[in-house]
Amino acid sequence: MGAPFFAFTPNRFPNTYLLVGCCNDETTHKYKGKTVMTEAERYESLRHCRWVDEVIPDAPWVINQEFLDAYNIDYVAHDSLPYADASGAANDVYEFVKAAGKFKETQRTEGISTSDIIMRIIKDYNQYVIRNLDRGYSRKDLGVSFVKEKRLRVNMRLKKLREKVKEHQERVGEKIQTVAMHRNEWVGNADRWVAGCNELVENADRWLAGFLEVFEEGFHKMRTNSRTFDEATIKGFCIFAGT
């Protein structure tokens, strides 16, 4: 139900004395199933709710006139959805008070029912077990076998590995998007860089051609002016020019 449920009645009906009935473990386990909290814990949690004036322990599963008279109850508040009666006494546990005109509809608080809470725990069961084992609880405390513990730990490691892979994929995706956003700018810069390289190559070719021309002219003069020019020296110059 939750605090909003209990706050609804006194806010809608001023000067109301709010009694909250709570079934014991035996009745609840029989007609609804295993509970998360014990009956003592449920009673105590209700007593600490600021809008609750009195808690009725061991409340009956189906409300009847005898129960209403015993506690001088004028109206019974609950959401309007039919609440199947597993005991077989009626089709709806609130069928009697609805027929008697003593039923007041409340707003259902989504997401905080016992079933919803249990589903959340079951959904992340492996994570909760590993967390409690790491905090010092024994396998016996959690009802987990040795093999089950090892399997859970392997599964958790695989889960973390999958999360890391997914995170890496997302980062790569972001980089690809960034590349796409700046593609035109980068392409322009690349074109300018290529043009600069081509210009540098052309200048280098001109410089090398000029160097060879000057070297060839100087070599020809040296050969003409010196009839005794050593052939090995000439060969060395040619090798140098080639490198």
**Domain match, 38 and 105 both:** yes
**Domain match, 25 and 51 both:** yes
SS3 82: coil
Structure token digits, residue 233: 């020296």
**Domain match, 51 and 132 both:** no
SS3 22: strand
Domain termination site, one of 134, 158, 181: 181
Query: What is the domain range of residue 162?
Result: 124-181
What is the reported pLDDT for 238? Answer: 41
- 119 found inside a domain: no
Structure token digits, residue 124: 């992340």
Domain termination site, one of 80, 112, 144: 112
Please tell me which residue, 178 or 154, carries the higher pLDDT value: 154
What is the reported pLDDT for 21? Answer: 95
What is the reported pLDDT for 36? Answer: 85
Determine the Cα angle at 168 with ends 162 and 170, to 5°.
105
Could you report the per-residue pLDDT of 115-139, keeping only the tens digit for each? 787 888 888 888 888 888 899 989 8
> Taking 50 as the threshold, does the pLDDT of residue 236 lie above it?
no
Mean pLDDT score across all residues of the chain = 76
Domain termination site, one of 112, 140, 169: 112
Could you report the per-residue pLDDT of 9-35, keeping only the tens digit for each? 666 677 889 999 999 999 999 988 888
Give CA–CA dist 18/55, Å, rounded: 9
Give CA–CA dist 125/156, Å, rounded: 11
**Counted domains in the chain:** 3
- 187 found inside a domain: no
Please tell me which residue, 139 or 84, carries the higher pLDDT value: 139
**Domain match, 177 and 197 both:** no
- 159 found inside a domain: yes
Helices 125-134 and 146-181, packing angle to 10 deg: 110
What is the reported pLDDT for 116? Answer: 81
**What is the pLDDT averaged over residues 222-236?**
52
**What is the pLDDT averaged over residues 74-83?**
84
- 224 found inside a domain: yes
- 78 found inside a domain: yes
**Domain match, 58 and 106 both:** yes
In sequence order, what are the residues at sequence separation of 6 or more whose Cβ sits closer than 8 angstroms to the Cβ of residue 150? none
- 118 found inside a domain: no
**Domain match, 133 and 108 both:** no
